[in-house]
Amino acid sequence: MNELLMQPVSSGVEKEDRYGIARKIVGLDARQMRGMFKNFIAQESEMDWNDGKPVVKVRRMTPDFIERQLGISSREAQRIQAELIDEGWIEQGKFTPTRKGMALAHHVDRPTLPRAEAEAILDQVLEWADRTNAVADTRVKVKAIHLYGSLERGADEVADIDLFIEFTTMDLGEDMQPEDMEQESELCEELSAISEYVSPSSALDRMVMDDVSMRQVFPPRD
């Protein structure tokens, strides 16, 4: 996702550092703002039940969240939220990160990776998914993996291997247990451990970023 941070933005964002991330966002230190966005997407999802089926609550970057993260006044948090909307970091009305906001949340200071090496790591991810689903009697399996970002677009050098990953956890419905969510978390940790360049996002993130070009890589389409 890092390449999104290098695109032209409004005058509220100042010069970039050597990694392509702006030094200031809405007048504040960009690394502090990046930390806030990282903490936002790291929150555990809350669920409601609708007709016996679990429904994930959409996380929203509210002034209350901004106030707690930055240790500022409520009035200042409202101003920052408005400026984040104006500069394209969060969606108007939805108050969820935009593509650029998600890129900021996932940004890591590291060298880019040649395409061939990135494709080799992607192959390891697909092998992991096959192994995971081959385990007998497991309740949580990998439902789908979609590739997006620079690798999907055919770039020669990539900063991340951006993936939307969906598990079968929500399909368990009323039968879903806390242990199932724990297993999903463990599988996410296994996936991330394959390489520091693997940048997984959830099915909920995919809903938020529904305008992003993506390709299903698991299970393979006919």
Lowest mean pLDDT among 19-23, 77-81, 93-97, 212-216: 19-23
pLDDT at 165 over 70: yes
Whole-angstrom distance, CA of residue 58 vs CA of residue 97: 11
Residue 170: which residues within 8 A CB-CB, separation 6 or more?
Answer: 53, 54, 56, 176, 203
pLDDT in tens, 91-136: 999 999 888 898 888 888 789 999 999 999 999 999 999 999 999 9
Q: Break the chain into its structural domains and give their ranges.
A: 2-106, 113-218
Calculate ∠ Cα 169-171-172, nearest 5°: 75
Percent of all residues in the chain with a pLDDT value above 70, rounded to a whole number: 84
pLDDT in tens, 169-201: 988 888 888 899 899 999 999 999 999 999 998
Under the banding of pLDDT at 50, 70 and 90, the label for residue 55 is: low
- Token pair, residue 132, equals 């995971």
Strand, coil or helix: 86: helix
The residue-averaged pLDDT of 57-82 equals 94
3-state secondary structure 139-191: CCCEEEEEEECHHHHCCCEECCEEEEEEECHHHHHHHCCHHHHHHHHHHHHHH
Of 146, 159, 145, nearest in space to 117 by CA = 159
pTM of the model: 0.70
The fold for domain 113-218 equals Beta Polymerase; domain 2 (3.30.460)
